[in-house]
Amino acid sequence: MWTETKHGLYKQFVFADFHHAWAFMEQASAIINRLDHHPRWQNEWNVVEFWLTTQAASRQITDKDWELAKELDSLAEGDKEKVAETLTEESAAKYTEVQMYADGGSRGNPGPSASGFVVLDMSGKVLHEEGVYLGVTTNNQAEYQALKFGLECALKKFGARNVHVYMDSLLVINQMKKIFKVRNRDLWPVHDAINQLVTKFEKVSFDHVPRELNKLADAEVNKCLDATANASAEAAN
């Protein structure tokens, strides 16, 4: 979903890996040249960001920006279909070992919350990324739900037997490693459910990472919360 900001019409595209992001940028360049409408954009690994404004209209958002946005969306959707086809073929062989990054966030704590997770193969290729809106809950609930959703995906979608879990929540990691006790009764049900999930794998490791190394999962959380907030604002208007 494109968002109108003070810097222009903004959207972040996240791809399976740098190869897909680069291919998208090459094709996007052709569209940009054809429309003769040149945006501000940047790339970091598998993420491509755009800010669209029209210079001739004093950097305001015009129909030309929305036209380019529509074409970029169509281009990105085509890439996702190609990635999905590739994953379908690869998933038939199953991934015995994967990495999973998970994150949760609450704007208010408690407040509007979402969980995000990303499953990668052992080479770092993104296999699946997803954000889930949870409604009003706490940050710790969102963190735990992200872990649960990610493990379920690794098990059911990819048939993984070994999972390396990475989160920036030191509380969740230490509770899963039984270093800390789970004292909050509200977390007991999801904690128990995750422990049951863990028994379905041969091995699950839990490691804490700094927030800057958990950007992909964090991006899924914020995309989900931003989309919900924008939809609510539009409905209010």
Tens of pLDDT, residue by residue, the chain (237 residues): 798 888 889 988 888 777 778 888 988 998 999 899 999 998 877 788 899 998 888 888 999 999 999 999 988 887 655 655 555 555 544 678 999 999 999 999 999 999 999 999 998 989 999 999 999 999 999 999 999 999 999 988 888 999 999 999 999 999 999 999 999 999 999 999 999 999 999 999 999 999 999 999 999 999 999 988 887 776 666
Residue 133 in contact with residue 228, Cβ under 8 Å?
A: yes
Residue-range domains of the chain with CATH: 3-91 (3.30.1360.20), 97-236 (3.30.420.10)
**How much is the pTM?**
0.63
First to last CA, the chain: 18
111-120 vs 8-14, strand pairing mode: unpaired
Tokens of 21: 């992001």
